Chains A and B, each alone.
Chain A
Amino acid sequence: MVMFWVCILAVSTLLYVLLDGFDLGVGILYGVTRDEARRRTMMGAVAPIWDGNETWLVVAGVVLFGAFPLVYSILMSALYLPVLLMLGGLILRGVAFEFREKSGRLRPVWDAGFAGGSLLAALTQGVMVGAMVEGLPVADGRYAGGELAWLGPFPVLCGIGLSVGYALLGACWLVNKCEGDVRDAAYRVVPRLSAALLAFLVVVFAYALAQDLPVMSRWIERPYLLVFPAIGAAAVLALAASVRRRRDATPFAMVVLVFAAAFGTLAVSFWPYMIPFAVTVEEAAAPHASLAFMFWGEGLFVFPLMLLYTAISLGVFRGKVSNDVPHH
């Protein structure tokens, strides 16, 4: 039962990262695009689905609360300010979709809210992952650090890295969904973003070696972990090839693979810890009666239904977005 809920949590979190990752990435790229027509097309490429994408954040959140309340209480309270900033960013960018079209003079405000909110959410999510990898001080089932313990060179580095990664995911989504101008511009940034992401990975690895982060010993203990970076590397090669040949659908799939490989690397490196080297899955799990009650209703019936629904709504929105029709 505990394993079942670990899987559900992992699937929900990965889905969230992949789905909201690309629409946050489009938001970040939106910030560096000046042309109004391009901006509209970019927004149109994510407008119909961002809401459903973000639902997975709520799903992951409540599954964590119900099935692993210890981890939920430690992480949320330890990451008080980043969670606040992330939610603020998500709300601002979310309402920008709706309010931008209705506004006249205020449009620059909503544009800034959309781009800035997307970047803020990406940065804070990366910072939170980085802080967890570096290790949060936990004592006696409670967070034991200060209000800014999550802030440091490594988490900030991870924040920037995730933003670059999301932007890359977003660019590949635009390549996949758009035509003409917007697609060409996206094709141009993909190599640059890929290079930046690789550079980031090298720096992170060097930093982790230099600081002797506890996670490094895991790599020596578990050599099979190298499978994941190998998959990632293969995906990067395929990405480069598909960009050169202008295969519109492939780059996105390859970056998804890179993200999944990175997610797998992190998850397997830390297993069985949920908060690295402080709280294990077994310690964090709610009593059996709670997990079983969740299993028989939402786990067995509703969750598969939600996966199906997500697949259908992505399917309905297949194909290219046209440039001239306003996205609403």
Chain B
Amino acid sequence: MDFTALLLSRLQFAFTVSFHIVFPSFTIGLAAWLTVLEALHLATGRPAYRLVFEFWLKIFGVAFGLGVVSGVVMGFQFGTNWSEFSRMSGPIQGVLLSYETFTAFALEASFFGVLLFGRRKVAPWFYLFSTAMVALGTTFSAFWIMVNNSWMQVPVGYVVENGVYAPTDWARIIFSPVVWVRFPHMLLASYLTCAFCVAATGAWYLLRGDFAAEARIMLRMGLYLAAVLVPVQIFFGHLTGDYVHDYQPAKFAAIEGRWHDEQPASEVLLAIPDPATESDRYAISVPVLGSLIGSLSLTSKEVGLASFPAEDRPPVLIPFFTFRIMVGCGLAMLALAWVGTYLGRKGRLERNRPLLWLIFLSFPLPFVAILTGWFTAEVGRQPWAVYGVLRTADAVTPFLTTRAAATSLTVYGAIYGFIFAFGVLYIHRLLRAGPAGGLVLPPAAAVPDRPMSVVDQPLPAGARYVPAGE
């Protein structure tokens, strides 16, 4: 493989964005869940809800901080590595990105301060309101990013004017049907990420025999939520597949591993696609199912990759396998959530150690599903940066040298690896310590602009304690 500036820029973008997405996908769900917890605490007055809230708020702080730090680079590398892309699509994508920055700043930064330091200074209803506003802010961030990416998948509402994409209809761009399928898909993915992380933490404490009351809340709330949301997520996943089928047939064919037109089409469950011979090796397939999935029909003709000119085809192996890994993770999560919920309703969940172990070990599943889902979407969009309009090869900075691109990839790799290692270490420390027996108030000098400052003091040494249920 030739390490051109183009390939290195793609690797750099894939690396930095994959690193980044891990944190927001977790914090978006966590913010919403914190809102629910705070509402439950207000409604029931149970101190355990508040303990769980305070505990996860600290983890939210670290994850949020890492998401912000890793996100700054994203905003600049559109210009550094993809100058043609940013010159042409800036009037649409730059504008959407600026909305993301502005709304996120307005909602997250200001209300997050209240969350961390205002517990004793504001009325309980206002505290709940602030939590909800932080959740709304993270949701808005996700929304603008999904509008942005959906425009790259299915560009609408623009004309080409003086070599740039000039917006003609913002309503079509923002209310594109593709947005309203993919945004819920991403949002649900974030909720499920949070649900499984919380349930896994609860299972871990139960296995250790610690924090029984809090662990039960975490385990049950996480699993019950997942039991409801995984089926909904699978439905939205299906709708996402529908848009790919309708708007990006080459990507759909690559995901399906379908090389030639078929009528009715079979569904390849597993295989090793071979681009050299344009066929699938060791294929396990089900007749007619392909037409059913693609068009809800028993007789439809489904298009194969060979029907597209070679220069318009995406790579096959990556979308084919990442899609199957994503679906596999989804099904595993469904099984865990349903079995766990069933046993939970029967009151046998907490004593079932093998299942607790499985739930504990399941926390990577949603992250893997999100990353592989994005690989499917982004690699499947190739060879286009803006689908059907701007090729990735034409989007890259034309004069970028291999040396410069290799330098930046190395530097970002080193820095991200470094801070990721430390960030994960601190989150792990917090999780291992568990919800403290008392409530932790922030140190006096900590301030809202620094989310991570709330966990500066190692527990229990430096923090000021307030008895639970004060």
A263→B266 CA distance, assembly (Å): 66
Residues in B with CB closer than 8 Å to A32 are none
* B105 CB contact (under 8 Å) in A59, A73, A83, A328: A59
How many angstroms between the C-alpha atoms of A94 and B447 in the bound complex? 15
Contact B401 A73, beta carbon cutoff 8 Å: no
Q: Please, how many angstroms separate the alpha-carbon atoms of A303 and B103 in the complex?
A: 10
B416 and chain A: residue at smallest CB distance: A91
Q: Which 3 A-B pairs have the closest CB atoms?
A: A69-B90, A76-B79, A65-B94
Contact partners of A79 in chain B: CB under 8 A: 80
Is chain B's binding surface mostly helix, strand, loop or mixed? helix
B76 in complex: contacting residue of A59, A87, A305, CB < 8 Å: A87
Residues on B lying within 8 angstroms of A by beta carbon are 65, 69, 72-73, 75-76, 78-81, 83-84, 86-103, 105-106, 109-110, 113, 161, 163-164, 166-168, 170, 397-401, 403-404, 407-408, 411-412, 415, 419, 422, 426, 443-450, 452-453, 456-458
In Å, the complex CA distance between A132 and B195 comes to 50
Please determine whether A84 and B170 come into contact, CB atoms closer than 8 angstroms: no
Residue contact B94 to A91, C-beta cutoff 8 Å: no
- Interface pairs (15), CB distance under 8 Å: A47-B450, A48-B449, A57-B72, A65-B93, A68-B90, A72-B90, A72-B94, A73-B90, A77-B397, A84-B411, A91-B72, A286-B90, A286-B95, A293-B170, A328-B453
Cα–Cα, bound, A305→B133 (Å): 15
- Are the CB atoms of B79 and A328 closer together than 8 Å? no
Q: Find A101's partner among B92, B167, B449, B456 (CB 8 Å cutoff).
A: B456
The listed residue (B102, B163, B450) touching A298 by CB distance below 8 A is B102
A67 contacts B by Cβ under 8 Å: yes
Contact between A72 and B86 (Cβ–Cβ < 8 Å)? yes
A84 lies within 8 A of B94 (CB): no
Chain A residues, CB < 8 A from B97? 62, 65-66
Given known A48-B450, A76-B80, contact A289–B166 (CB-CB < 8 A): yes
* B113: nearest chain-A partner, CB-CB: A313
Asked if A58 is an interface residue, CB under 8 A from chain B, the answer is: yes
Contact A94 B69 (CB under 8 A): yes
Residue contact A62 to B94, C-beta cutoff 8 Å: yes
Please determine whether A69 and B76 come into contact, CB atoms closer than 8 angstroms: no
Known: A62-B102, A76-B80. 15 other contacts (CB 8 A): A44-B445, A48-B445, A55-B105, A65-B98, A67-B94, A76-B86, A91-B72, A91-B73, A147-B401, A147-B403, A286-B91, A294-B99, A309-B110, A325-B445, A328-B446
Interchain CB contact under 8 A, B164 and A297: no
Tell me, in angstroms, the Cα distance from A302 to B105 when the chains sit together: 9
- State A97–B447 Cα separation when bound (angstroms): 13
Asked whether B449 lies within 8 Å of A49 as measured between CB atoms, the reply is yes
Interface centre among B83, B398, B404 (most CB of A within 10 A): B83
How many residue pairs link A and B with beta carbons under 8 A? The number is: 213
**In this assembly, does A205 line the interface, its C-beta being within 8 Å of a C-beta of chain B?**
no
A50 to B332, CA, bound (A): 44
Give bound CA distance, A49 to B113, whole Å. Answer: 12
Bound: A242/B228 CA distance, A: 67
Flag whether A278 is at the interface (Cβ < 8 A).
no
Are the C-beta atoms of B73 and A87 separated by less than 8 Å? yes
Central interface residue in A55, A76, A101, by most chain B CB within 10 Å: A76
Q: How far is the CB of A299 from chain B (nearest CB, A)?
A: 9
How far does the alpha carbon of A321 sit from the alpha carbon of B110 in the complex, in Å?
A: 23
Residues of B within 8 A of A90 (CB): 72
Q: How far is the CA of A299 from the CA of B441 in the complex (A)?
A: 37
B7 nearest CB across to chain A (Å):
17
Residue of A nearest to B101 (CB): A62
The distance from the CB of B151 to the nearest CB of chain A, in whole angstroms, is: 13
In the docked arrangement, what's the CA distance between A81 and B81, Å?
A: 11
The closest CB in chain B to the CB of A48 belongs to B447
Asked if A143 contacts B75 (CB within 8 A), the reply is no
Task: Find out whether the CB atom of B445 lies under 8 angstroms from the CB atom of A327.
Answer: yes
A141 at the A/B interface (Cβ < 8 Å)? yes
Determine which residue in B95, B407, B411 has the highest number of CB atoms from chain A within 10 A of its CB, and name it. B95
A325–B72 Cα gap in the complex (Å)? 32
Chain B nearest CB from A328 CB (Å) reads 4
Within 8 A of B (CB), among A110-126: none
A317 CB within 8 Å of chain B:
yes
Contact with B along A70-101 (1 / 0, CB 8 A): 10111111011101100110111011011101
- CB neighbours (8 Å) of A92 from chain B are 415
- When C-beta atoms are compared, the residue in chain B nearest to A316 turns out to be B447
Tell me whether A287 and B90 are in contact (CB under 8 A).
no
Q: How far is the CA of A267 from the CA of B411 in the complex (A)?
A: 33
**Interface pair A80/B164, CB less than 8 Å apart:** no
